[in-house]
Each structure stands twice: as structure tokens, then as C-alpha cells.
């Protein structure tokens, strides 16, 4: 067994009701690490081009990584990978919760589910004992109730009614954490699979365990001393971003018709902390505890993340936190992605506002939106249309120019008209409109030091670097929020009008050449904690260059999958509203000038003019097509 891995893949076929194990293929594991990199490689290899996401042969892959199951902070996460029923492109989503560690301790690096059960089932994994059990009594139940009915000693991943009814943005829920994006829950529902439950006590080898324990102490202190991971996130949660994005005019408002609203600050992280916060919560073994538990209607429930506030609150004109708490809870319990749900409801409201689809949906009506979420999950009435996502709704009712999605995936809560590099990232990230595969907006608008958000200078190489780092993080698998700590803590104290701040931002903006060179550099040093942890686990040196290459390979593997499924340059696009309509008074701050960045990005990525990955680039990274 190689250090960092259990060495086994569990394959369950729900059509035949059988399972088997196989060794994790060493060559691929060494190239792709685990998580989304390895899962995408496997998905590509075991599916035929054009396979429908709802075809029983479509695999649903749960993957862990080499840091899963260790004491490393922010490491207990899993990735679910499949073909997205929302976009037709690569589909994946990462999740905290308790399944990741327990699946690995049950003895498996990955679980691959294929086939379709005749009736609702769940898979229970207790090391070598793998059973497919009846779940008819759970079908129709919410994600929270479902979890209480399953064995308490197991880590869980479940779907709610949205997954059962194949809402195209249905999620998979583990504890209070959610694998929300790209409709992975709908693929699970299409297999009549209500839940996965796993537990075990197996161990895997860590080569330098004593050093890892020591480094762990250092890292916990480092994260606690850092302003973002030690103060802002624990104190305000991800909702700290409400105030920042409103100040930057980039929080979606009325389906991206505006960049903020006079009432946006009513729903800020500060408001939540002052009036509703019961306590912080967090993922297993994570000292940051960015999750919220809030008082709501006499109960304590999970509080909303920033994205949920942005899309189900601000974007819908719902400017009070209790209504947003209800919407957030419903999204989780019904099992759907709150980003896509908020995006779809906002689009439906604007279609109604313009008389293009008389559906009665109106901005600002929190109770109406709660009812609509239930209708979406059960595909009841107009909920059946909204469950299809913005792209399909636009094909039916019109409004393509303000259907806010990329490749069909609804955009998160950062309007790229105030962070142009983020616009390029949205357009080019393989799974579609996504903020977690690079988070360029942090370097442009929401972080402590920002490169001019309305400039294209240095943005293509910045986006490539950010995407590669994020892909390596999701292959290891760390939580993406670990990247916040990469910005030195001293940066948080700088005066934006001071000399030092201006000098740094100017230097960053002029660093295009250097960044371009760095994209493919093989930096031989082990610098950041990602590389250090992997070095200690594997017992061999993992350098910054190696880590970057793992990320590049995982990212390009996703791109290769998309190319095989027919995605080209035309799909690396933004909705017309984000290209042509400005939300800023200053005429220089136009929509996103994507056309001025895309060719440079392709050149750095090794794509031809049509966006197809070249053989030279595949050879460089050792990717077989």
C-alpha cells in the first residue's frame, strides 16, 4: 500500500447489485494525486463519448485524496465527479462532512457507483462488508431527516427530493455540508441511490508521521494567527464578504441588474454575528470553524454561506436574514445547490418582470421563494421549468442575454463586471460558472490587496495560476479556503491610500511577464504547506513546481473531457449582460472585455484558436487522450 492511500477502489453496480474492488492504478495515482484529478481521469477512461448523465452506465465517483483522514487542517473532504446533467460538461463538487474520512477508513480511496437500482436503495460500507440496502422508506424525505434515519456510526452522503426528482442542480449532502454544484445529486437520484454510508477503522501509512504532527501544531498556530483564517472567517463566516462585495459593487442584485442595493448591509455577516449567531461550526479537524449556527424560529439551524446570501438573498431582493435562513435551510434539506437555485429564481423573476414568461415570480418575496423551492424540488407546476436551470429556461422563454450562467452553470455571487479576471475564470473553468476553481476575485476585489479589477493586465496568467493551484488543492484534497492564508498577514494592515499598498498593487499589475513564466516553471523548492504535507505523507520531496503541475494536469484533464464532449471556444463565453451592460457609472468600467483576454489565456494554456487542447500540451503533462 503506497503512503497516503488505501490502495483500493470500491466499484458498486446497482443494476446487478454486485460490487468488486480493484487496486488503485499506481501510475494514474502518481500523476493525478486523488480527488478531482484522479476521478476525472477515471471518468474519461471508463465512459464512452456522448454518454448521457442519466444513462445507468454513467459513473458517480466519490473520491478522497492523500491528505484525507489525516490530522491536517481543512483536509477531510471528498469530491463527487460525473458528467453534469445541468451543463453536459465535466461535473464535480467538493464537500466537507463526514463521509470522506470514513470512506477512506473503510479501506477505499474511491467509490465508483454505476447502474441503476430497480427501487430506492442505499449503499452501506463497513470495510469489506458492502451491502445494498432498501431505502424505500427514505425516498421523499429531506436530507436532514434521511441522515438521522441512517446508521449513526457512518459517514454519510445523501440526496433530498431534488435529487430524487432529477432537478438539474440537485446536491449531495453530508452532515451540514453540501456538494452543491453541477447537479451531482441528480445523477445520484437517477440511479435510485438515496445514500452512501461508510465506516471503518483501517489505517494508511504516513511516512514522516512525527514530523507531520509537529508541523500540524505549527500550522494550527499559523492559521489561528492569520487575520483571515484566525479572525475574519471564525468571527463572520464566509458572510464577511457581503459588506466587501457590496462596497465593490459586485454582489448580484435583481438577477445581476445591479451591483448592490441600499439594503444589502442588512444581510451582512456582521448583522448575522450580532443578532443571530448561536455558535461557530466547522468541518472535521478544522480549526477555522467558518460555519455558522444561527437562531431561527425557536430553533438552532445552520446559517447561510456567503454564496447563499448573495444568490438567495441579494439577488432575489430578499434583504432580511430570517427569510434567507429559511431559504438556505430549504436548499440544504431539499438537496439543491443554493447558487443555482437563487440564479434560476432570479432569472424567472426577471422574465416575469419583462413579461416574457408570466409566472407570477416577483423579486423581494421571501415566502414566495420558499414555496418555489419546494415546487422546484418536487417539479411541481412552474417549479418543473425552474428545475431545468437558466440555460434551458432561456431556450424556452428567451432572455438568453440575461440568463446568468456559463456553460449552463449559474454564476456565484461575484459580478465579474467588477473583477475582470474573475470573468475570464468563469468563462474558462471546465465545470462552468464557478468561483472555487481559482477565486481570482480575491486578488482583484475581495482580498486585502487588489490588482486593478478593471484592467486586463496580467489577468490571463493570474487566472491560469489560480486555476492550477485550486485544481491541485481539490486533488489533494484540502479545503479551498486554505488558500486565503497564502496572502501574508501583513497585507491586511496596509492602508489602501498608502505608498506600500500602491507600490505592491502596481507591481502585481505589471507582473504579467513574470506570472506567464511562472505558469510552467518547475520551482524546485518545497515552500507552501500543501507541498510540505504531501512530502511528509509520501516520504518523498514534493516541490512547488510538482504541486503546480498536479494542478495543471487535473485542470487539463477536465478540459480534455470537455473537448471530447464537443465543448469549444464558443462555450468559453459570458452572458451578454456581463459583457455589454455596465453597473458602474464610470464609462471606463464597462462589461468584461473577455475578447481581449481569451487568446492570451489560450496561448498560456496550450489550446488552439478553437479552444481545443493541443497534443503538445498533453505530452508536456503526460496526459493520454
Which residues, numbered 85-114, are part of the site for ligand SF4 (CB under 6 A)? 96
Closest distance to ligand SF4 from the beta carbon of 230 (Å): 11
CB contact set of 299 (below 8 Å; sequence gap of 6+): none
Closest distance to ligand SF4 from the beta carbon of 481 (Å): 4
291 binds ligand SF4 (CB under 6 A): yes
Q: Which of 37, 180, 185, 282 binds ligand SF4 (CB under 6 A)?
A: 282
CA distance 104 to 69: 7
Cβ pair 6, 537 in contact under 8 A? no
74 binds ligand SF4 (CB under 6 A): yes
Compare residues 34 and 346 and give the one whose CB is closer to ligand SF4. Answer: 34
What is the DSSP code string of 534-558? HHHHHTS---HHHHHHHHHHHHHHH
288 binds ligand SF4 (CB under 6 A): yes
Bridge partners, residue 173, by sequence: 158, 178
| DSSP assigned state of 117 | -
192 in the Ramachandran plot: left (φ > 0), alpha (ψ -120 to 50) or beta? left
Closest distance to ligand SF4 from the beta carbon of 420 (Å): 27
CA distance 367 to 316: 12
277 binds ligand SF4 (CB under 6 A): no
CA distance 356 to 358: 6
78 binds ligand SF4 (CB under 6 A): no
Place of cell 486586463: 456
Closest distance to ligand SF4 from the beta carbon of 453 (Å): 25
CA distance 465 to 623: 19
- Binding range to ligand SF4, per CB under 6 A, among 4-12, 281-289, 457-465, 604-612: 281-289
180 binds ligand SF4 (CB under 6 A): no
What is the DSSP code string of 559-577? HHHHHHTT--GGGS---HH
Q: Which of 78, 481, 529, 530 binds ligand SF4 (CB under 6 A)?
A: 481
Q: Which of 376, 311, 385, 375 is nearest to 352 (CA)?
A: 385
406 binds ligand SF4 (CB under 6 A): no
Q: Which of 286, 349, 485, 537 binds ligand SF4 (CB under 6 A)?
A: 286
- Binding range to ligand SF4, per CB under 6 A, among 252-260, 278-286, 507-515, 589-597: 278-286
Q: Which of 167, 283, 311, 557 binds ligand SF4 (CB under 6 A)?
A: 283
Task: Read off the C-alpha cell for 359.
Answer: 409566472
Compare residues 306 and 481 and give the one whose CB is closer to ligand SF4. Answer: 481
Bridge partners, residue 123, by sequence: 132, 196
Compare residues 289 and 454 and give the one whose CB is closer to ligand SF4. Answer: 289
Bridge partners, residue 19, by sequence: 12
Compare residues 96 and 163 and give the one whose CB is closer to ligand SF4. Answer: 96
What is the DSSP code string of 412-453? -S--GGG-HHHHHHHHH-TTSS-SSS--THIIIIISSS---T
Q: What is the CA radius of gyration of the chain?
A: 22
224 binds ligand SF4 (CB under 6 A): no
Closest distance to ligand SF4 from the beta carbon of 270 (Å): 18
289 binds ligand SF4 (CB under 6 A): yes
173 binds ligand SF4 (CB under 6 A): no
Look at the alpha carbons of 19, 475, 467, 77 in this order and tell me if their dihedral is positive or negative: positive
Cβ pair 476, 530 in contact under 8 A? yes
Cβ pair 113, 70 in contact under 8 A? no
- Binding range to ligand SF4, per CB under 6 A, among 59-67, 105-113, 288-296, 317-325: 288-296
- Binding range to ligand SF4, per CB under 6 A, among 147-155, 280-288, 444-452, 541-549: 280-288
Compare residues 120 and 291 and give the one whose CB is closer to ligand SF4. Answer: 291
Largest CA distance in the chain: 68
479 binds ligand SF4 (CB under 6 A): yes
602 binds ligand SF4 (CB under 6 A): no
Cβ pair 70, 212 in contact under 8 A? yes
- Binding range to ligand SF4, per CB under 6 A, among 53-61, 283-291, 451-459, 519-527: 283-291
Compare residues 289 and 457 and give the one whose CB is closer to ligand SF4. Answer: 289
Compare residues 436 and 537 and give the one whose CB is closer to ligand SF4. Answer: 436
Compare residues 80 and 286 and give the one whose CB is closer to ligand SF4. Answer: 286
Closest distance to ligand SF4 from the beta carbon of 483 (Å): 10
Q: Which of 9, 290, 445, 552 binds ligand SF4 (CB under 6 A)?
A: 290
Task: Read off the C-alpha cell for 206.
Answer: 504516513
Place of cell 491528505: 67
Compare residues 279 and 502 and give the one whose CB is closer to ligand SF4. Answer: 279
Size of the site for ligand SF4 (CB under 6 A): 11
CB contact set of 153 (below 8 Å; sequence gap of 6+): 199
Which residues, numbered 109-168, are part of the site for ligand SF4 (CB under 6 A)? none
Compare residues 481 and 529 and give the one whose CB is closer to ligand SF4. Answer: 481
Nearest-10 Cα torsion for 426, 432, 437, 443: 10
Q: How far is CA 338 from CA 133, 285, 508, 514, 578, in A?
A: 30, 25, 34, 38, 21
What does the per-residue mask of binding to ligand SF4 show for 23-62, with x meaning CB under 6 A? ----------------------------------------
Q: Which residues bind ligand SF4 (CB under 6 A)?
A: 74, 96, 282-283, 286, 288-291, 479, 481
Amino acid at each position: 500500500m503506497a503512503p497516503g492511500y488505501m490502495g483500493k477502489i470500491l466499484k458498486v453496480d446497482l443494476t446487478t447489485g454486485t460490487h468488486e474492488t480493484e487496486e488503485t492504478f499506481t501510475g494514474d495515482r502518481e500523476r493525478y494525486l486523488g480527488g478531482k484529478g484522479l476521478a476525472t481521469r477515471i471518468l474519461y477512461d471508463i465512459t464512452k463519448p456522448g454518454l448521457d448523465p442519466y444513462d445507468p452506465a454513467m459513473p458517480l465517483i466519490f473520491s478522497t485524496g492523500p491528505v484525507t483522514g489525516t490530522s491536517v487542517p481543512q483536509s477531510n473532504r471528498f469530491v463527487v465527479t460525473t458528467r453534469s446533467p445541468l451543463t453536459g460538461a465535466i461535473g464535480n463538487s467538493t464537500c466537507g462532512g463526514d463521509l470522506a474520512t470514513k470512506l477512506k477508513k473503510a479501506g477505499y480511496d474511491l467509490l465508483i457507483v454505476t447502474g441503476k437500482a430497480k427501487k430506492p436503495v442505499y449503499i452501506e460500507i463497513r470495510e469489506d462488508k458492502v451491502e445494498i440496502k432498501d431505502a424505500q422508506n427514505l425516498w421523499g424525505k429531506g436530507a436532514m431527516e434521511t441522515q438521522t434515519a441512517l446508521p449513526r456510526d457512518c459517514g454519510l452522503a445523501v440526496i433530498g427530493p431534488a435529487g430524487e426528482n432529477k432537478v438539474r442542480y440537485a446536491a449531495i449532502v453530508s452532515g451540514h455540508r453540501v456538494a452543491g454544484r453541477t447537479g451531482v445529486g441528480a445523477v445520484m437520484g437517477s440511479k435510485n441511490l438515496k445514500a452512501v454510508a461508510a465506516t471503518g477503522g483501517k489505517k494508511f501509512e504516513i511516512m514522516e508521521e512525527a514530523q507531520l504532527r509537529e508541523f500540524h501544531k505549527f500550522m494550527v498556530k499559523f492559521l489561528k494567527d492569520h487575520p483571515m483564517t484566525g479572525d475574519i472567517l471564525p468571527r463572520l463566516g464566509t458572510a464577511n464578504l457581503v459588506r466587501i462585495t457590496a462596497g465593490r459593487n459586485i454582489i448580484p442584485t435583481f438577477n445581476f441588474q445591479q451591483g448592490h442595493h441600499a439594503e444589502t448591509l442588512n444581510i451582512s455577516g456582521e448583522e448575522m454575528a450580532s443578532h443571530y449567531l448561536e455558535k461557530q461550526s466547522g468541518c472535521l479537524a478544522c480549526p477555522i470553524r467558518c460555519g455558522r449556527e444561527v437562531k431561527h424560529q425557536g430553533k438552532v439551524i445552520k446559517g447561510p454561506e456567503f454564496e447563499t446570501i448573495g444568490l438567495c438573498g441579494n439577488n432575489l431582493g430578499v434583504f432580511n436574514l430570517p427569510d434567507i435562513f429559511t431559504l438556505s435551510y430549504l436548499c440544504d434539506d431539499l438537496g439543491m445547490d443554493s447558487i443555482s437555485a437563487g440564479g434560476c429564481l432570479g432569472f424567472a423573476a426577471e422574465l416575469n418582470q419583462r413579461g416574457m414568461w408570466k409566472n407570477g415570480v416577483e423579486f423581494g418575496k421571501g415566502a414566495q421563494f420558499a414555496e418555489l423551492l419546494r415546487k422546484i424540488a418536487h417539479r411541481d407546476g412552474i417549479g418543473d421549468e425552474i428545475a431545468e436551470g437558466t440555460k434551458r429556461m432561456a431556450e424556452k422563454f428567451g432572455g438568453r442575454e440575461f440568463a446568468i450562467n456559463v456553460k449552463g452553470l449559474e454564476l456565484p455571487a461575484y459580478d465579474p463586471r467588477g473583477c475582470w479576471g474573475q470573468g475570464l475564470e468563469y468563462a474558462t473553468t471546465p465545470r462552468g460558472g464557478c468561483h472555487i476553481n481559482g477565486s481570482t476575485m480575491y486578488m482583484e476585489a475581495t482580498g486585502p490587496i487588489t490588482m486593478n479589477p478593471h484592467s486586463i493586465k496580467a489577468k490571463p496568467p493570474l487566472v491560469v495560476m489560480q486555476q492550477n493551484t485550486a485544481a491541485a488543492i481539490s486533488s489533494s484534497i484540502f479545503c479551498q479556503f486554505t488558500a486565503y492564508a497564502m496572502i501574508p498577514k501583513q497585507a491586511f494592515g496596509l492602508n489602501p491610500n498608502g505608498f506600500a499598498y500602491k507600490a505592491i498593487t502596481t507591481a502585481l499589475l505589471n507582473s504579467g511577464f513574470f506570472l506567464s513564466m511562472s505558469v510552467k516553471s518547475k520551482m524546485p523548492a518545497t515552500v507552501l504547506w500543501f507541498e510540505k504535507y504531501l512530502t511528509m505523507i509520501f516520504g518523498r520531496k514534493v516541490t512547488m513546481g510538482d504541486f503546480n503541475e498536479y494542478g495543471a494536469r487535473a485542470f487539463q484533464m477536465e478540459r480534455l473531457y470537455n473537448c471530447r464532449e464537443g465543448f469549444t471556444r464558443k462555450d468559453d463565453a459570458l452572458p451578454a449582460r456581463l459583457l455589454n451592460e455596465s453597473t458602474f457609472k464610470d464609462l471606463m468600467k464597462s462589461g468584461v472585455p473577455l475578447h481581449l483576454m481569451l487568446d492570451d489565456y489560450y496561448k498560456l494554456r496550450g489550446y488552439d484558436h478553437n479552444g481545443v487542447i493541443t497534443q503538445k500540451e498533453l505530452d508536456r503533462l503526460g496526459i493520454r487522450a
